[in-house]
Structure 1
Amino acid sequence: MGFADEHLIPLLDEGLGNSGYLVDLGDGRALAVDASRDLRTLREAAGRRGLTVAYAADTHLHADFLSGAVQLAHDDGAHVLASAAGNRAFPHTPLADGDETDLGGLTLRALATPGHTDEHLSFLLLDGERELGVFTGGSMIVNSAARTDLLGAHRTDELARAQYRSLRRLAALPDHTSVWPTHGAGSFCSAPPGSERTSTIGEQKHTNPLLAAPDEDTFVRRLLAGLGSYPDYFDRLTEANRHGPAVLTSVPPLPALDAGQVKSLLAAGGHVVDVRPAADYAAGHIPGSLSIPLRDQFATWLGWLLPDTAPLAFVTNDDQDLSEIVWQAYKIGYERLAGHLTGGMPAWLADGNEQAATEFVAADHTGNRPYIDVRQEVEFADGHVPGAVHIELGDLAAHAADAPAGPVVACGHGERAMTAASLLERAGQTDIAVLRGGPADYAAAHGRRLTQGAEDTRS
């Protein structure tokens, strides 16, 4: 078959910053690469073309999402292709460096590219002898390479040096070869994230600063300098993917709960997650609940801030999609979903329960409160309010005692800041305001200029 751009269908997960891929093989069959357990986008794309997934290839044992390969094997009879070194505990075709799979006109060649993980493979797609593109997973990504610290600090330098060799191996492919990475902008597996999702080998030779490193030591320094924090759940999913996620035979339910059941869940050590917009949470919420607005980044913050071992109940608005909550939770292995509060906050209040409220204020109504910035380090360094106390949202629960009393909490827009305020309220703080906006709004309202660069600002 002749291969054209329309045969490759990117499957973008905006929230996790990842791209899976569906390749139309031209005969009603398809190849899926790095498909997530949340297969809704893949199913929609396959359905439009009448495709059945015949092959499901995983470039590595993912830390940020559960693989959909086992589900595709169950549903479509897909042959799972993955590294033999991954020691996966479910049926698959174990591949080593140089192994090829005949896709029926196209060929998929495994290239060992360790670094992001030990067992990492890239997959080179060939039409005869012509290199069409390479699925690089967490090896070469656009203008960077994926992080090498997921297996522990004691392995970080070793894996960074492996990443150096892997990138150079990929760079030896012909310039016309397309580069199709999994990790990209917004992914906590990227170091640092770029803006473009795909590229070519030729472009990367000219634009990737890591490929421009004159030697291995310089490469390692540049790569490790871009490593920021990452969600706690990353430490669990590699092994979950090695064993394989449970097959789902239907869309998991999110049962209806009354107010009494929600109270009982809280009393028994469960958690209430309020997924309504930040302004709705501010106006009134269940005391002790955690605000994580339902948006693209919902799964990231759910997995960063709460354990996967306790039951979760959700507070929603009537117009919010319950299946979105379920799939975002399930794709990162959160399956103890007790249900949602039927009738939302009006039902909670009608049952005679109290609610709490949080100030959600414009920049010119913050007064002289201490300013807490909960953004990531790279965001903070790019521009922050002078004198701000910087505690990343992911670290806040463990460092709530470091937060000044009576603060205004801020991020870029307000969603993460509202989550931070809910964490501080759970830790016992009561006089908290959340900035409706970001640092530039605050600086303009207070006649100040933002400061750049990292600094130790924790009180």
Structure 2
Amino acid sequence: MFFKQFYDQKLSQTSYMIACQKTKEAIIIDPKRVLDEYAQVAESEGFTITLATETHIHADFASGLRDTGRRFNAKIMVSDEGDENWKYSNMPEGTEYLKDGDKIKIGSVELEVVHTPGHTPESVSFVLTDRGAGSEEPMGMFTGDFLFVCDIGRPDLLEEAAGMEGATEEGADAMFDSLKKLHAYPGFMQIWPGHGAGSACGKSLGAVPLSTLGYERKNNWVFKYEDKEAFIQELTSDQPEPPSYFSQMKRINRDGLSEFKLKEVEVGSPDVISGQIFDLRNKEDFRKGFRKGSINVPYSSKFLQFAGWYIDYDAPMTVIANPGDGKTLQEDLASIGFDNLQLIVPIEDADRYYDDTYENLSPELLVQNHENKIILDVRSTSEYKSGHLDNSYHIHFGHLDEKDLPFSKDDTIYVHCQSGVRSAIALSVLKARGYENAVNVEKGYIGIKKAIN
């Protein structure tokens, strides 16, 4: 048997390739939309990708399931569990629909389907047994967004991202019952989750790539609850805010998306730039001069996590960036379902469009008479609850472009996050909305606490 784990750090997302080394057949589980890595591994190992499946309809990234069928002529297999309110649609001809107890054969490798609802109603896990090695015992389980290392999948995304009222409580109730199914499996069975630390699909995911069921029974908080109501209360509290693009992902992964193909993106500095504008320079360069209305999201490992809050899926995109990043930018944006990158303005030409700046303020100056200042805390709810200035307003940075703000546009607003990264993004959003006197607090709440003490 061949086993390969693929980890996309930008999305904290994990996918897998399993193959029978005798028959050279391979399956991809939870494929991402850009398929080149899978093709390279299959070619180097001499495998043919014949099957593709996924554990559920994803909310946090654009699935590559349908593209796997198109590119490799692989058979697609998806869950047919759950109710009629949330089902796969527009699937290709020949798709096989899976129920609890069904088995997938990849040569002499067997995957048994286990319905594990909670994160979503249709969620399934796959228990792997290597029959070719003569084993009757399961080696491991692909748990998707059911069980993570030291955490469990959140049950509220259908309600938060897809607007299905009441889905949170129903999901949490189902999750408690799904956990009970794990009693039937041995502690040595490995757990291969769909996400790692940094994913918004849970609240405290571990950073290691895999675990065992025995280890999770000892260390994962979810196994410490025998009372269902107490479990539901804990599971549904303090979940991180889901990025705005999650609602888009739920829809396109249910209904389908066109095949991803790289294209030639225009590079240049026209007199007029339009559409949504993202400036990918670092925050220090951006604040000294920028085009008002552009959103500053530096091109780093967290680009997708931040940009996903603000992308308009119905509008073309211009980026101020390094043209050499054009290929990876297309791939990154495609991984959250956006294929309308139209123009790259080279960084060295950014000054053609400057019509605004913003100021930074040290935390030492902020805390002087801070009780009389208008302070905006743009951190997450859990960060805010863990400690904040008493007179601060709290609005998550990702909601600043959509919520009514409790300030006048003439007010001086002092904006901070935890360390200074998100507040810089927030400044560009506030400036775009006409809050001309917004000021960024350097070093964030970390610096503020030190200054006060």
Same structural fold, with TM-score higher than 0.5 when normalized by the shorter chain: yes
Name whichever of 288-297 and 397-406 sits farther off.
397-406
Partner SS, residue 402 of structure 2: helix
Percent of aligned pairs with the same residue?
28
Paired residues of 2:19 and 2:109 also in contact (CA < 8 A): no
Alignment of 1:12-31 (within 5 A): 12-27=7-22, 28-31=24-27
Name whichever of 400-409 and 68-77 sits farther off.
400-409
Cα distance in 1 between the residues matched to 2:233 and 2:350: 55
- C-alpha change, 1:377 and 1:47, in structure 2 (3 Å) is farther
Matched to 1:151, the amino acid is L
Q: Deviations over 1:91-120 (max 9, x none)?
A: 322111111011111101111111111111
Cα distance in 1 between the residues matched to 2:236 and 2:120: 15
Paired residues of 1:278 and 1:414 also in contact (CA < 8 A): no
Matched to 2:55, the amino acid is T
Name whichever of 279-288 and 408-417 sits farther off.
408-417
Alignment TM-score, normalising by the size of structure 2: 0.88
| Aligned position for 1:166 | 178
Partner SS, residue 346 of structure 1: helix
Partner SS, residue 321 of structure 1: helix
- C-alpha change, 1:175 and 1:362, in structure 2 (3 Å) is same
- C-alpha change, 1:438 and 1:40, in structure 2 (3 Å) is farther
Name whichever of 7-16 and 170-179 sits farther off.
7-16
The answer to whether the aligner puts 1:436 opposite 2:442 as a matched pair is yes
Cα distance in 1 between the residues matched to 2:257 and 2:269: 31
Matched to 1:355, the amino acid is D
Partner SS, residue 401 of structure 2: helix
| Aligned position for 1:380 | 384
Number of aligned residue pairs: 430
| Aligned position for 2:162 | none
Q: 1:332 aligns with which of 336, 343, 358?
A: 336
The answer to whether the aligner puts 1:256 opposite 2:267 as a matched pair is yes
| Aligned position for 2:108 | 105
- Offset of 1:50 from its aligned partner? 4.5
Cα distance in 2 between the residues matched to 1:16 and 1:168: 29
Alignment TM-score, normalising by the size of structure 1: 0.87
Partner SS, residue 448 of structure 2: helix
Name whichever of 128-137 and 74-83 sits farther off.
74-83
| Aligned position for 1:308 | 313
RMSD of equivalent CA atoms: 2.3
Alignment of 1:286-305 (within 5 A): 286-305=291-310
Q: Deviations over 1:251-286 (max 9, x none)?
A: 133322433241xx2xxxx21111111112112111
- Offset of 1:289 from its aligned partner? 0.7
| Aligned position for 2:290 | 285
- Offset of 1:26 from its aligned partner? 2.2
Cα distance in 1 between the residues matched to 2:326 and 2:311: 19
- C-alpha change, 1:432 and 1:44, in structure 2 (3 Å) is farther
Q: Which runs of 5+ in 1 are unaligned?
A: 2-6, 449-459
The answer to whether the aligner puts 1:240 opposite 2:235 as a matched pair is no
Partner SS, residue 271 of structure 2: helix
Q: Deviations over 1:163-222 (max 9, x none)?
A: 111121124311111111113321111144333332111111111212211122121111
Paired residues of 1:259 and 1:347 also in contact (CA < 8 A): no
The answer to whether the aligner puts 1:150 opposite 2:157 as a matched pair is yes
- Offset of 1:21 from its aligned partner? 1.6
Name whichever of 95-104 and 26-35 sits farther off.
26-35
Cα distance in 2 between the residues matched to 1:48 and 1:354: 49
- C-alpha change, 1:31 and 1:361, in structure 2 (3 Å) is farther
Alignment of 1:39-438 (within 5 A): 39-46=35-42, 48-85=44-81, 86-91=87-92, 92-128=95-131, 129-152=136-159, 153-248=165-260, 250-262=261-273, 265=274, 270-317=275-322, 321-341=325-345, 343-344=346-347, 346=349, 348-349=351-352, 353-364=353-364, 366=366, 370-385=374-389, 387-399=391-403, 401-403=405-407, 405-438=411-444
| Aligned position for 1:34 | 30
Q: 1:447 aligns with which of 439, 444, 452?
A: 452
Q: Which runs of 5+ in 2 are unaligned?
A: 82-86, 160-164
Cα distance in 1 between the residues matched to 2:268 and 2:217: 56
Paired residues of 1:385 and 1:443 also in contact (CA < 8 A): no
Cα distance in 2 between the residues matched to 1:130 and 1:294: 46
Cα distance in 2 between the residues matched to 1:442 and 1:287: 28
Partner SS, residue 77 of structure 2: strand
Paired residues of 2:10 and 2:302 also in contact (CA < 8 A): yes
| Aligned position for 1:455 | none
Cα distance in 2 between the residues matched to 1:41 and 1:365: 50
| Aligned position for 1:457 | none
Name whichever of 418-427 and 80-89 sits farther off.
80-89
Paired residues of 1:125 and 1:132 also in contact (CA < 8 A): yes
Paired residues of 2:140 and 2:192 also in contact (CA < 8 A): yes
Partner SS, residue 31 of structure 2: coil
- C-alpha change, 1:193 and 1:226, in structure 2 (3 Å) is farther
| Aligned position for 1:452 | none
Q: 1:11 aligns with which of 6, 9, 19?
A: 6
Cα distance in 1 between the residues matched to 2:214 and 2:239: 26
Partner SS, residue 10 of structure 1: strand
Cα distance in 1 between the residues matched to 2:350 and 2:431: 22
Matched to 2:13, the amino acid is N
